[in-house]
């Protein structure tokens, strides 16, 4: 029990200590050290902020279990989580902390049968962990009673207090007794959310574990300057240059995650995407595949990746720049965990450079610039890798399985031909430089206008001017045009600029990053299945008809 001293000091009960020793925890994390005594000793509400993976569940879970009366059948703690698998994860963790206590923990989420939930609720449970929608169902049916509630916990609180959930949370809170403690835990806690949270809390304390010392130590942080249209190629080169690439890749929108994972799969990588529109069942399947490393590249949005506890990632890659420094720290905290070195990579387009510098300053991280690997170097590396891997197999004596085939082949052909043919068979076009496309220097400023191909668009710094084959004759107006683009690209209206609507067509500026996507989406939606949107040609006020041939790069 010696190494439990550190936990004992915090005031936890013998039963909690027993559970901790079974879990094999050796010492409390910072958030646990700060939260547990407070939760045990006073009655204040708490806002707790610490990075993902720092054991926030135990920080609130253990002291709460210590204050629950066993075997009453009354719900005394209600834990709210934004997604089903987070609810399941928290409930499992809570169960493991019981240390033999007669405390029932029930998970309640949509998609699960009501019957089973009714039965358990009727029998009585002490802790309920759930997602808001289904909890409200039960509250309305009167099958869930909260009159004996002592604790309400919002896990991933910033998410729970966001637009999508806030009404549900208010409704649930309105069914709880006045006298209770409200606890908020999250990895990020924007000021806006803290202000909102105060509405629901009495006297409260903020516990904040700075993320800097948690991430920066073991995470090597790199950025690459790339044009939006070169990002995919850049990503492939990075994957190919690494011996191991087990990574989360972050995109800003659901559509981008799907597009990117599909493109990666086409190129032969084991990728999958995760976002809010994916069904729960599929989501679980994808996560389990990722945990088993059958899928090694998971492309996700911030929200979809939230709270998911995956260790051992070699890389986190920001395909699109995170919204703010806090999400940057949160994202890259997924790698470099548990004493292992990890790498965080960020793609920056020229127009995003200032934002990156701001992230670097606020998060106090050191993000180093690197250049993308050259194709020649990649191919050389791949060759060296084969030679060294074959060496390893021979040294380890693992070559006996196929000696028959080897001898058969060698009876007919010289050995160099056989080996070369086998490499072609095994690696196909792996060593061909044609797999890769050219990557442009990101600073478009340095490219003289005259040397650009005639087909290329009048790209300004990070901005692309689009030609839209809809005009006043189609009842188009600037307002409608912005709405159309906005809906498809999920862009803030202020990012859509210089809108001009003429009789037969219109123009608008959008960020680089969105242009390709918009063009692709509206490919066949124009008259006679012609592309509805293409890059504007020549001068921004060109009046040429749209070309039916829009540039498409793979």
Q: Which residues of this protein are in contact with ligand ADP, per CB under 6 A?
A: 25, 28-29, 32, 50, 52-58, 93, 307, 309
Site string for Mg ion, 278-317 (x = CB under 5 A): -----------------------------x----------
15 binds, options ligand ADP, Mg ion, none, Cβ within 5 to 8 A by partner type: none
Report whether 12 contacts 37 (CB < 8 A).
Answer: no
SS3 letters across 420-470: HHHHHHHHCCCCCHHHCCCCCCCCHHHCCHHHCCCCCCCCECCEEEEEECC
Least distance (Å) between residue 32 CB and ligand ADP: 6
The residue assigned the tokens 């493991």 is 96
231 binds, options Mg ion, ligand ADP, none, Cβ within 5 to 8 A by partner type: none
Least distance (Å) between residue 274 CB and Mg ion: 17
130 binds, options Mg ion, ligand ADP, none, Cβ within 5 to 8 A by partner type: none
309 binds, options ligand ADP, Mg ion, none, Cβ within 5 to 8 A by partner type: ligand ADP
Least distance (Å) between residue 184 CB and Mg ion: 12
Least distance (Å) between residue 64 CB and ligand ADP: 13
Query: Which residue, judged by CB position, is nearest to ligand ADP in the bound state?
Result: 55
Nearest CB to Mg ion, comparing residues 237 and 283? 283
29 binds, options ligand ADP, Mg ion, none, Cβ within 5 to 8 A by partner type: ligand ADP
- Alpha carbon distances (Å) from 388 to 76, 392, 393, 403: 60, 6, 9, 20
84 vs 201: CA distance, rounded Å: 25
Least distance (Å) between residue 156 CB and Mg ion: 7
Nearest CB to Mg ion, comparing residues 56 and 517? 56
Residue 370: CA count within 13 A, CB half-sphere: 17
Nearest CB to Mg ion, comparing residues 94 and 469? 94
165 binds, options ligand ADP, Mg ion, none, Cβ within 5 to 8 A by partner type: none
Ranges of beta strands (E only) in 204-301 are: 204-208, 219-225, 247-250, 271-274, 297-300
341 vs 53: CA distance, rounded Å: 16
- Alpha carbon distances (Å) from 126 to 85, 86, 178, 424, 530: 20, 19, 19, 63, 62
Stretch that binds Mg ion, among 50-58, 191-199, 390-398, 544-552 (CB under 5 A): 50-58
- Nearest by Cα to 4 from 25, 32, 23: 25
Least distance (Å) between residue 305 CB and ligand ADP: 12
Least distance (Å) between residue 527 CB and ligand ADP: 52
- Token digits of residue 411: 């009876």
Report whether 121 contacts 106 (CB < 8 A).
Answer: yes
């Amino acid at each position: 029990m010696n190494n439990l001293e550190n936990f004992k000091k915090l005031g936890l009960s013998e039963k909690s200590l027993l559970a901790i020793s079974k879990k094999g925890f050796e010492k409390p994390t910072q958030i646990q050290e700060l939260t547990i005594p407070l939760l045990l000793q006073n009655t204040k509400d708490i806002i707790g902020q610490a990075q993902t993976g720092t054991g926030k569940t135990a920080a609130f879970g253990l002291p709460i279990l210590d204050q629950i009366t066993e075997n009453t059948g009354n719900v005394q703690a209600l834990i709210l989580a934004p997604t089903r698998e987070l609810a399941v994860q928290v409930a499992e963790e809570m169960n493991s902390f019981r240390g033999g206590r007669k405390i029932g923990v029930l998970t309640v989420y949509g998609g699960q049968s009501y019957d089973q939930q009714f039965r358990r609720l009727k029998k009585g449970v002490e802790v309920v962990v759930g997602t808001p929608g289904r909890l409200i169902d039960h509250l309305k049916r009167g099958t869930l009673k909260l009159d004996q509630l002592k604790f309400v916990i919002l896990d991933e609180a910033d998410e729970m207090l966001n637009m999508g959930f806030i009404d549900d949370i208010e409704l649930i809170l309105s069914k709880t007794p006045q006298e209770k403690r409200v606890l908020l835990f999250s990895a990020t806690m924007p000021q806006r959310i803290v202000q909102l949270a105060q509405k629901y809390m009495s006297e409260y304390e903020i516990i904040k574990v700075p993320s800097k010392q948690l991430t920066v130590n073991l995470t090597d942080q790199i950025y690459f300057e790339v044009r939006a249209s070169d990002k995919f190629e850049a990503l492939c080169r990075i994957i190919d240059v690494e011996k191991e690439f087990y990574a989360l890749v972050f995109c800003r929108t659901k559509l981008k995650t799907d597009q990117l994972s599909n493109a990666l799969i086409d190129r032969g990588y084991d990728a999958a995407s995760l976002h809010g529109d994916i069904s729960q069942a599929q989501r679980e399947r994808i996560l389990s595949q990722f945990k088993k490393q059958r899928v090694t590249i998971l492309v996700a949005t911030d929200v979809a990746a939230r709270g998911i506890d995956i260790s051992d990632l070699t890389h986190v890659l920001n395909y699109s720049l995170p919204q703010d420094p806090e999400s940057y720290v949160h994202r890259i905290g997924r790698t470099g965990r548990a004493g292992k070195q990890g790498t965080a990579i960020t793609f920056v387009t020229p127009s995003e450079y200032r934002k990156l510098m701001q992230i670097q300053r606020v998060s106090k991280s050191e993000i180093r610039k690197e250049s993308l690997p050259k194709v020649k170097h990649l191919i050389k590396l791949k060759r060296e890798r084969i030679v060294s891997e074959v060496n390893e197999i021979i040294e380890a004596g693992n070559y006996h399985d196929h000696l028959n085939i080897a001898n058969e082949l060698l009876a007919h052909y010289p050995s160099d031909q056989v080996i070369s043919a086998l490499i072609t068979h095994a690696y196909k076009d792996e060593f061909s430089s044609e797999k890769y496309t050219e990557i442009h220097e990101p600073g478009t400023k340095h490219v003289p206008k005259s040397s650009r191909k005639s087909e290329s668009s009048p790209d300004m710094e990070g901005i692309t001017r689009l030609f839209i084959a809809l005009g006043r004759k189609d009842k188009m107006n600037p307002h409608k045009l912005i709405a159309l683009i906005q809906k498809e690209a999920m862009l803030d209206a202020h990012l859509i600029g210089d809108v001009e609507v003429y009789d037969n067509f219109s123009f608008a500026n959008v960020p680089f990053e969105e242009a390709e996507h918009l063009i692709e989406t509206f490919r066949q939606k124009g008259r006679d299945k012609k592309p509805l949107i293409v890059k504007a040609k020549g001068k921004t006020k060109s009046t040429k008809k749209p070309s039916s041939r829009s540039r498409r790069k793979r």
